């Protein structure tokens, strides 16, 4: 059994490119910098950017292309896809993320720093997800931002 799932966050390196496939499906691609901390020879820490290609398909491309710009922090969930092609007689290969979910403007629930029992203001942001071959807009308010939801109410 194999599992092909990836979750990454980073900043867009350029504005997304939008195009249409031969079958008429809209697609958007962008590269994002996912930082990793490393130490140099003097023991000093620095950030090193890993560039990751991301592809988004379907109706959500229209909405996302209006929101995403160079430098924007995004959170992507999806699966890895391997492509190879030939250009100028040379073989190239590419590993990219096919996005199921793209979120932005707020960190995921576990990174918001909410204290136990503390309510946060509901987020007006949302995300598009692909589930079962269909795309839908989902309310992205964290559980603790919804009315009457407290950490104490969760049984684990």
pLDDT tens series, the chain, 156 aa: 889 999 999 999 999 999 999 999 999 999 999 999 988 899 899 888 999 999 999 999 999 999 999 999 999 999 999 989 899 999 999 899 999 999 987 555 554 444 333 333 333 444 545 444 444 444 444 444 444 444 444 444
Tell me which residue range forms the domain holding 34: 6-110+123-149
- Measured CA to CA, the distance from residue 110 to residue 120 in angstroms comes to 13
pLDDT at 2: 85
The three-state (H, E, C) secondary structure of 55-69, written as one string: EEECCHHHHHHHHCC
Q: CB 119: neighbour CB atoms within 10 A?
A: 13
Q: Which residues, at least 6 apart from 155, have a Cβ–Cβ distance to it below 8 Å?
A: none
pLDDT recorded at residue 106: 58
| Inside any domain, residue 61 | yes
Q: Determine, yes or no, domain membership for 1.
A: no
Any domain includes 154: no
Number of domains in the chain: 1
Question: Domain for residue 116, yes or no?
Answer: no
User: How far apart are the C-alpha atoms of 123 and 15, rounded to whole Å?
Assistant: 24
User: Does some domain include residue 117?
Assistant: no
Q: Is the pTM of this model over 0.75?
A: no
Looking up residue 27, the CATH number of its domain turns out to be 2.40.50.140
HSE-up of residue 15 (Cα within 13 Å, Cβ side): 4
Residue 86 falls inside a structural domain: yes
* pLDDT score, position 94: 87
């Amino acid at each position: 059994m194999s599992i092909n799932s990836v979750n990454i966050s980073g900043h867009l390196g350029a504005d997304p490119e939008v195009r249409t496939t031969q079958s008429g499906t809209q697609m958007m691609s962008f590269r994002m910098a996912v930082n990793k901390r490393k130490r140099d020879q003097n023991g000093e820490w620095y950030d090193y950017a890993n560039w990751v290609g991301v592809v988004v398909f379907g109706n959500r491309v229209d909405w996302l292309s209006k929101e995403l710009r160079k430098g924007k922090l995004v959170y992507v969930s999806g699966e890895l896809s391997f492509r190879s092609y030939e250009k100028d007689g040379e073989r190239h290969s590419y590993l990219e993320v096919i996005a199921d979910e793209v979120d932005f403007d707020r960190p995921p629930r576990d990174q918001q720093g909410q204290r136990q029992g503390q309510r946060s203001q509901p987020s007006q942001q949302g995300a598009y997800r692909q589930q079962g071959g269909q795309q839908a807009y989902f309310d992205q308010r964290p559980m603790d931002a919804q009315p009457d939801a407290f950490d104490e109410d969760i049984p684990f």
